[in-house]
Amino acid sequence: MGGGRRHASLWNRKIMRHSLPAIVLAIAATAIASPAYAVCSSCNIQTKTPSAREPGKFDYRVSCIIDESGDEVNTVVTAATDEEAIELTKKKGC
């Protein structure tokens, strides 16, 4: 009866040995595809309102198109100027 357990144990180790690299690769691929690593060459300011939290600055909603996928991403940032808002948005990864 113990032989069946041994066979199952070897089978489980074999599966785990091959599954672990696949899982790590899947996680890495997801991280690379996330918007945090996106590159956007086109960003436009959608809204600009005086910031309630930071006097002298504005809260912006900036819309960017991700170059690789064509997806639109909206990001909220607080900045003193329009240029700074676009720069902060691109630093965030769109």
Condensed to tens digits (0 to 9), the pLDDT of residues 40-63 reads 889 999 999 999 999 999 999 999
pTM for the full model?
Answer: 0.60
Segments forming the whole domain that contains residue 55: 38-91
Same domain, 82 and 47: yes
Same domain, 44 and 83: yes
Q: How far is CA 43 from CA 8, 61, 67, 70, 87, in A?
A: 56, 10, 11, 12, 10
Alpha-carbon gap, residue 12 to 26, rounded angstroms: 20
Q: Which residue has the higher pLDDT, 69 or 26?
A: 69
Specify the 3-state DSSP secondary structure of 70: coil
Same domain, 68 and 26: no
Q: Which residue has the higher pLDDT, 38 or 78?
A: 78
Same domain, 48 and 81: yes
**In this model, does residue 16 exceed pLDDT 80?**
no
Mind listing the pLDDT tens digit for each residue in 1-10? 555 566 556 6
Same domain, 72 and 44: yes
Alpha-carbon gap, residue 94 to 82, rounded angstroms: 15
